[in-house]
Amino acid sequence: MAGKLIDGKEISSQIKAELAQEVGRLQKENNITPGLAVVLVGENPASKVYVGQKEKACAELGIFSQKHTLSAETSEAELLDLVRSLNEDPDIDGILVQLPLSGHIDENKVIETIVPEKDVDGFHPVSVGKMVIGLPGFRPCTPSGIMELLKRTGVDLVGKEAVVVGRSNIVGKPISLMLLAESATVTVAHSKTRDLGEVTRRADVLVVATGRPNMITADMVKEGVVVIDVGVNRLDGGKLVGDVDFDGVREKASAITPVPGGVGPMTIAMLMYNTVQSAKRRAGAPVSV
């Protein structure tokens, strides 16, 4: 029987509705409007789409968004100056510099210039370090969106075999740590893994973030697996697909995320979550980050 769909659109809408209430309370009780600065450098079409989605989500929730669009020729020094001024801006609770940046700008330097208190992407080494040792701090949005999907779908992770395919700083590494923090037995596979199918067939929960369309096929999963597909690949004909052969794998899975409409909308919801948490801290309220 085909596995149940994990509806990221629906779950992200619930989260955004909860956040909109919190934004209303912050406004009413503390006279504080959460503020997010989004910085876009250059003309990357996918980045433009993502930035537009982030602005739209802010508007829906009553979060103040401030967009900075810089030309592709912007120097690293100019970008760092902008980040420093946003660090000091009392109306800004979160700073997001859309990645990737063009080659003449050192991404790590930009990320390290954002103060950790406004690092709503969770990419600063301080945030990453806190995640590693289990301290509160901003968690990166895509993996925390995956954890929220699993939680709200009622997937119990304790003692389960979780397999992550991919080892990027944005998804593979952080989701591995988050699954471990929930007491799963975690295996990280990647492009050099010798027998990928042998590893993925162990999974009770399989998270795939490789950027290769249809890489995981039905013969590579066991019956009843929960599958989270982080891939977003546009095929030559224009169709958007994940890293998992959805139709084949769904037949064996107990639950699976679609692409689009799975992980994607969750990333933005969790960015909104981090921004609201940061604003709550400004208001002196207890926060979970």
Give me the residues that bind ligand GUN (CB under 6 A), please: 96-99, 121, 141-142, 170, 267
User: What's the alpha-carbon Rg for the chain, to the nearest Å?
Assistant: 19
Is 98 among the catalytic positions? Answer: yes
Q: Beta partners for 125?
A: none
Which is closer to ligand GUN, CB of 164 or CB of 253? 164
Smallest gap from residue 100 Cβ to ligand GUN (A): 7
In terms of CB distance, is 121 or 245 closer to ligand GUN?
Answer: 121
Pull the structure tokens for residue 194: 């010798």
Residue 272 and residue 124: Cα distance in Å, rounded? 18
In the complex, least distance from residue 145 CB atom to ligand GUN, rounded to whole angstroms: 10
* Residue, CB closest to ligand GUN: 99
Nearest to 241 by CA among 219, 210, 270: 210
Least separation, in Å, of the C-beta of 142 and ligand GUN? 6
SS3 of 209, please? coil
- Annotated catalytic residue within 16, 54, 173, 280: 54
Minimum separation from the CB atom of position 204 to ligand GUN (A): 27
Q: Is 121 a catalytic residue?
A: yes
Q: Are 183 and 198 in contact (CB under 8 A)?
A: no
Residue 89 exposed, middle or buried by CB count within 10 Å (0-12, 13-18, 19+):
middle
Catalytic residue among 16, 93, 98, 204: 98
Indicate which residue of 93, 119, 121, 243 is catalytic. Answer: 121
Number of C-alpha atoms within 13 angstroms, CB side, residue 184? 26
Catalytic residues, by residue number, are: 54, 98, 121
